[in-house]
Amino acid sequence: MKKVVVVGSLNMDLVMEVDRIPKIGETIKGEEMSYLIGGKGSNQAVAACRLGNEVTMIGCTGKDTFGDKVLKHLKEEGINIDAIKRDEVIFTGIATIFKTKDDNSIVVIPGANDFCDKDLIDKNIEAIKSADILITQLEIPIETVEYVLKVAKENGVKTILNPAPARKISKEILMNADFITPNESEFEIISGKLFKDGNELEESMINWQKENPSTRLVVTRGKDGSSYVDENEVETMKAIKVNVIDTTGAGDTFNGALAHGLSHEFSMNEAVTFAGAAASLSVTEFGAQTGMPKFEEVNNILDIK
């Protein structure tokens, strides 16, 4: 069993089902309201754990009802929660998700996630050192992201940076990220370019990879699959066609599954294919984590030995 450490956000997701996203200044009537455990860190930890990995979560919640529910849920999933700090003052992070039939829009209030700091990393350094792979995102302070990637890299631990919410990434961070996994819109922000079509996207991917040879770029492209650069050519793994119910956790499932593949020494092609299949399965049920598959479910599609 491989050891995966996830350093990142822990939220309570407030999901509002609506026919469409309201315009500025407009009030519309919603259909349903759900309370679900979320946060990109939490989601990626659950995704990796369900695939059969030993997962430790490092992050912060408040000492409130939402925090209680988040920790209870992660423990029930089989995730080690010993490295989660509970703050006495600040509230647990909240994400408000407006879910339409075809997509979603999200507003995140970080709360305790902003207190995931370097001290917390230092307190849990042994867990990081003993990991096979580490995943982090950008819903915690950027200084913490930079620091934990550096610590992991110095100790020979593979690292995945999921650059979401998107922002410009410093060279210091890229130096210590073995893999970076933006979606198309996030890659536009990282690269500083807007793409008219898939050809422009792929050309930019090739150029970016040449400029950043130590960080392997993987771009998730929704229904069009996932792409990476190999010997100055873009390789695209097609998405599996499924009945889409909720896309909220697809990217996080991809990252958790990619961590599984890379830590188990899959080839790049195999790891990206595996991650894409897991992400496709995840959108067939409502909720970011509800549809996240177990290894056997992905294996049934891909026949991995």
Q: Which residues are catalytic?
A: 252
181 closest CA partner among 47, 1, 25: 47
Question: Token pair of 24, please?
Answer: 């500025």
Measured between alpha carbons, how far is 93 from 66 in angstroms, rounded to an integer? Answer: 9
38 strand-pairing partners? 11
Measured between alpha carbons, how far is 7 from 2 in angstroms, rounded to an integer? Answer: 16
The 3-state DSSP composition of the chain as helix, strand, coil percent (nearest 5) reads 40, 25, 35
CB 196 within 8 A of CB 178: no
CB 213 within 8 A of CB 252: no
Q: Determine the distance from the C-alpha atom of residue 301 to the mean position of all C-alpha atoms in its chain, rounded to a whole number.
A: 22
CB 167 within 8 A of CB 138: yes
